[in-house]
Structure 1
Amino acid sequence: MFIGQFERSIDSKNRVVLPPSFKNDLGNIFYLTISSGKKLEIRNVQEFENFVDKIDQNNQLDPNIQKYKRFILARTIKVETDKLGRFLIPENFLKAIAIKKTISFVGMGRIIEIWASENLEMQLDELENDSTIDDLAAEMLKKGYKL
């Protein structure tokens, strides 16, 4: 399970070092996806295959399913780390989420998110207000989510 937040710098060749605690559970080969919400997502091979299988369980003739699957698969690459645990983030991935030099890895259970550090800080600052997180939890309970 991936948990925690780790900040890293991107080198001049657009490489970044995977946090060691994530590398152990992730392995050397994984999938990197440009996701919605100005972030990247990392899934290990098994989790990515499960994700695609879940998409494929839907009606493939549905245009919305086709669009979503196209959106995800066209914006995903297979990545391999080097001996130092570094991997390359392609330029178009960096631009898609407005990364300048510093990124934050966020463990989200089965996946890892990558954010431009300043964008993540804005997101987290919004939640620092106690009533905001309480309102969010109340809304989730109202929709039937179990916490």
Structure 2
Amino acid sequence: MRPHLSLDVRDVPASVEFYRKIFGVAPQKQTKDYAKFDLTSPPLNFSLVSSTGRVSTVDHLGIEVESAAEVAAWKTRLQTAGILDHVEENVACCFARQDKVWFSDPDGNAWEIFTVHEQLAVDGPLTKTGCCVPEADGRGAKTCQAGA
């Protein structure tokens, strides 16, 4: 099984260049208004579709990896590409203790690469868990601000 995710984007070529840096591979298919990445790691059928009106928005997207070493490798990769937004190490967030790195795509969708060290008790509202919550900045992109 492999999930499929299709995002409406403003500029397919710009988004392709961004996601090529993220995933380290070129799209399997690409036209001016469409691109498809057939990924094996993470296993994902990921496409970008040109939209003149709306762009896809979600709270955030994420890729869970197996270890803190993998998060550290992603951190280096994102820093090298100049697209690392925020780092969280050993944080209690979303009822789990985690390491995370965050970045945002050209349309402002926030992504996290994370690993879970341990599950924590589900107690109280999410806003009180210390989560890093993506929040719009003045340019429409998302940055990560600690939740209250």
- What is the TM-score with the length of structure 1 in the denominator? 0.26
Q: Which entry has the higher C-alpha Rg, 1 or 2?
A: 1
Structure 1 or 2: more strand by fraction: 2
Bigger share in helix: 1
| Higher RCO structure (Cα 8 Å, ≥6 apart) | 1
User: If the length of structure 2 is used for normalisation, what is the TM-score?
Assistant: 0.25
